[in-house]
Chains A and B, each alone.
Chain A
Amino acid sequence: MDVMAGKVKMTQMSANSAMNPTDMLQRPIRLHAKDVTVSYGAKQALHGISIDIPDRAVTSFIGPSGCGKSTFLRCINRMNDTIEGAKVGGLIELDGENIYDPALDVVELRARIGMVFQKPNPFPKSIYENVAYGPKIHGLVKSKTDTDEIVVSSLRKAGLFEEVKDRLNEPGTGLSGGQQQRLCIARAIAVGPEVILMDEPCSALDPIATAIIEELIDELRENYTIVIVTHSMQQAARVSQKTAFFHLGNLIEEGVTEDIFTNPVNKQTQDYIMGRIG
């Protein structure tokens, strides 16, 4: 794909993803957060974040480095639990169910809320095993045929199957950066999550790989609720329907992406979008 073609595609895509604002706001709420706070030891990283995340749409979190957007993202599948000294307060509900309920098994939660990380991190195993791992540990497959089916369909959904179909047994770490990230997406999809969290999924990729991933995100929102953290405002504008702007641990402004970028209410949002802070 040459750069020109990529550019054309991107513009088309952003036209597609510009959903009717009222339509977007009428979508059912999948995730509901109220007064979420996070502190690492004495340092408070998030000060009471409240936001609703709509079903089967892309919600993007933007903001300068250290603003807490990744921290909030990691609250949604409780990855902050794994960080020593992190304390989470407030309420996050998935379909009305409190995900911090002590009775809830975090393993089950993470099967429902998948995650794609900043740096592609496939397991040092074969491409096949990378995708098959999730369904296997969650007991979703009974036979080899089931597994084969899930691996193929997940790789297809991630747009990677045609590129790797002849080398499914080769290590996933041998793929290019963009392919590795799509493998990670396929791996997340294989478990059949309802929500996919993406933490700056394209920051380690070149523009062409980025374009492919963005296109993929746009396709995936048909079936999944996607939350994406990004440094690139262009990316947020291209792929998301809802945007939230974070600054210094606060949620400054949230709304329909088009509105945020064309008509921000808050001065800080305006400054950031105009490139005055960041």
Chain B
Amino acid sequence: MTDMLAATAIKPTNERTQRIRASLRRRHTGEAIFRGLGLAAIILALGFVVLLFTDIIRKGAPAFIQSNVHLSINFDPAIITTGPAPVRAAGQSDAEFNGANVKWQRDLALLNWNKVIEASLRAAAPAGYDISGKDILSIAETDARHQVREAFAANPALLGQTTKIDVLASANTNNWIKGNIDRSLPDAQQQLSPQARGLIDQLVASGGISSGFAWTILTNVDSRAAPAASGLLGAFFGTLYMMIIVILLAVPIGVASAIYLEEFAPKSRLTDFIEVNINNLAAVPSIVFGLLGAAVFINYLGLPISAPLVGGLVLTLMTLPTIIIATRGALLAVSPALRQAALGMGASKTQMVFHHVLPVTLPSILTATIIGVAHAMGETAPLLLIGMKAFVAAVPASPLDQATALPVQIYLWQGNENRNFFEGHTSAAIMVLLAFMILLNGTAVLLRSRLEKRA
């Protein structure tokens, strides 16, 4: 650009030209500085984003790999003393048969299945390997006994037979294999006994323990007794219910209030007052909404504690101002020519809004809404105050059941005692939450471009 100017420049003939040239140079320098600063700001911001994502992925990716112990389980009749499953005898009533069945199931639950697992692990260990029962069981996760029992209950014909069952390795085993714990630490500071560590290494070498994708983190609920089996499913459903509630409540109420305030409400002191308050509401710290939810929804209305319904209502209150402000902004930006065209045709005010103004603003409203909802999804503080940080080891069947949410799960895992193991889990949960958000924002971008093309 400057080269071109120089090439076609007229020779400075008088002072006036000189002055213009000097001022031009100043302007160009100013612009160059501004551009440089802008570029630097963007590079800095991008740098932080890259840093954040690399750190989270670096820590979280290993959590998606899980060590599995391949066991050959022998359903030893000496241990499984309940006998075969009850068979329906001739003339037995439904109630009698069911009673027998329940008794059999209860007897199964009372058996010490750990003995079966211990025997199987000992069989996998080299002959004569010296290790205590407690130490050898510390290799597999504590939920292995349920897995083995369920396998037997599903197929009682296995009694006396040997079958292959894969169980999860314990969190400590995972730590040892993945190197989450320093192998050179003295025994006193290790989570596993030297015998167990030695056996793990031998099993890994012999193929008795191998790694696979940790589906459990996506398909299981949270667990404290069996950390390696803990997953996000419960928290995911908690978040899903809350998002549905937020979308069902915040979007129609927010958009409708914005339309009313912007298009229909008479300009008066009252509407000014409402407007100021909506703007203030957007700046209220989210934890205050949590207090409000605890006071109003739980104490006063008697809604259940820890329920996604209450969480959804609190997040709705929090998202409303965002949606109202964004929608009003979008409505305000519609050109007066379009409104005049509609009114001039004899459209009523409602027809003008719904036939012409709203379709034009739909992309902006949609984007604002999705960003508001995504923001609500990542909110933790208000949920802590309405009891959604409770440990819930079940998938909530309805929005009235106790549940937790993805961001709260991150918070809970972050505070878990088994840091070595849960650091990875925390990052993995962040990855799932981020993926969810990217999905939502991606939808917003896609819908926006679609709608804009159509308009």
B339 contacts across to A, CB distance below 8 A = 82
| Among listed B135-143, B149-157, B341-349, B408-416, interface-contacting one | B341-349
Given A84-B267, A111-B346, A133-B355: A117 and B455 interface contact (C-beta under 8 Å): no
Q: Which of B342, B346, B360 has the most CB of A within 10 A?
A: B346
B267 contacts across to A, CB distance below 8 A = 84
Q: Which of B337, B338, B345, B356 contacts A110 (CB 8 A)?
A: B345
Interface readout for A100-144 with B: 1 if CB under 8 Å, 0 if not?
000000011111001101010111100000000110011000000
Task: How many A-B residue pairs have C-beta atoms within 8 angstroms? Tell me.
Answer: 56
User: Residue B81 at the A interface, CB < 8 A?
Assistant: no
User: Residue B340 at the A interface, CB < 8 A?
Assistant: yes
User: Residue A15 at the B interface, CB < 8 A?
Assistant: no
- Shortest CB distance B134–A (Å): 74
A122 contacts across to B, CB distance below 8 A = 341
Q: Which of B340, B348, B351, B359 contacts A117 (CB 8 A)?
A: B340
Contact check, B346 vs A110: say whether CB atoms are below 8 A apart: yes
Given A79-B340, A137-B351: A187 and B345 interface contact (C-beta under 8 Å): yes
User: Residue A240 at the B interface, CB < 8 A?
Assistant: no
User: Residue A191 at the B interface, CB < 8 A?
Assistant: yes
Q: In chain B between 362 and 411, which residues have their CB closer than 8 angstroms to a CB of chain A?
A: none
Distance A124 CA – B346 CA, assembled complex (angstroms): 17
B355 contacts across to A, CB distance below 8 A = 133, 137
B341 contacts across to A, CB distance below 8 A = 117, 121-123, 184
Q: In chain B between 229 and 275, which residues have their CB closer than 8 angstroms to a CB of chain A?
A: 267
Contact check, B338 vs A108: say whether CB atoms are below 8 A apart: no
Given A123-B356, A124-B455: A134 and B346 interface contact (C-beta under 8 Å): yes
- Shortest CB distance A73–B (Å): 11
User: Residue A14 at the B interface, CB < 8 A?
Assistant: no
A134 contacts across to B, CB distance below 8 A = 345-346
Contact check, A191 vs B346: say whether CB atoms are below 8 A apart: yes
User: Residue A70 at the B interface, CB < 8 A?
Assistant: no
B351 contacts across to A, CB distance below 8 A = 137
Distance A109 CA – B348 CA, assembled complex (angstroms): 12
- Shortest CB distance B332–A (Å): 14
Contact check, A79 vs B343: say whether CB atoms are below 8 A apart: yes
Given A117-B337, A119-B337: A108 and B346 interface contact (C-beta under 8 Å): yes
Distance A111 CA – B346 CA, assembled complex (angstroms): 5
Q: In chain B between 6 and 39, which residues have their CB closer than 8 angstroms to a CB of chain A?
A: none
Distance A231 CA – B136 CA, assembled complex (angstroms): 98
B455 contacts across to A, CB distance below 8 A = 124
Contact check, A82 vs B345: say whether CB atoms are below 8 A apart: no
Distance A267 CA – B266 CA, assembled complex (angstroms): 45
- Shortest CB distance B60–A (Å): 45
Contact check, A137 vs B345: say whether CB atoms are below 8 A apart: yes
- What is the chain A residue whose CB lies nearest that of B360? A124
A187 contacts across to B, CB distance below 8 A = 345
- What is the chain A residue whose CB lies nearest that of B455? A124
User: Residue A77 at the B interface, CB < 8 A?
Assistant: yes
- What is the chain A residue whose CB lies nearest that of B346? A110
A137 contacts across to B, CB distance below 8 A = 345-347, 351, 355
B348 contacts across to A, CB distance below 8 A = 107
Contact check, A133 vs B345: say whether CB atoms are below 8 A apart: yes
User: Residue A227 at the B interface, CB < 8 A?
Assistant: no
- Shortest CB distance B259–A (Å): 17
Distance A111 CA – B455 CA, assembled complex (angstroms): 26
B346 contacts across to A, CB distance below 8 A = 107-111, 134, 137-138, 191
Q: Which of B339, B341, B343 has the most CB of A within 10 A?
A: B341
Interface readout for A71-88 with B: 1 if CB under 8 Å, 0 if not?
000000101001010000
- Shortest CB distance A200–B (Å): 13
Contact check, A121 vs B337: say whether CB atoms are below 8 A apart: yes
User: Residue A33 at the B interface, CB < 8 A?
Assistant: no
Distance A79 CA – B342 CA, assembled complex (angstroms): 11
Distance A133 CA – B348 CA, assembled complex (angstroms): 13
Distance A97 CA – B168 CA, assembled complex (angstroms): 88
User: Residue A226 at the B interface, CB < 8 A?
Assistant: no
A107 contacts across to B, CB distance below 8 A = 346-348
Q: A133-B355, A137-B351 are in contact. List 12 more A-B contacts (CB 8 A).
A: A82-B339, A110-B344, A111-B346, A115-B344, A117-B340, A117-B341, A121-B337, A123-B342, A124-B338, A137-B346, A187-B345, A191-B345
28 interchain pairs, CB-CB under 8 A: A77-B344, A79-B340, A79-B343, A82-B339, A82-B340, A82-B343, A107-B347, A108-B346, A110-B344, A110-B345, A111-B346, A114-B344, A117-B344, A119-B337, A121-B337, A121-B340, A121-B341, A123-B338, A123-B342, A123-B356, A124-B359, A133-B355, A134-B346, A137-B347, A137-B351, A137-B355, A188-B345, A191-B345
Interface of A toward B, CB cutoff 8 Å: 77, 79, 82, 84, 107-111, 114-115, 117, 119, 121-124, 133-134, 137-138, 184, 187-188, 191
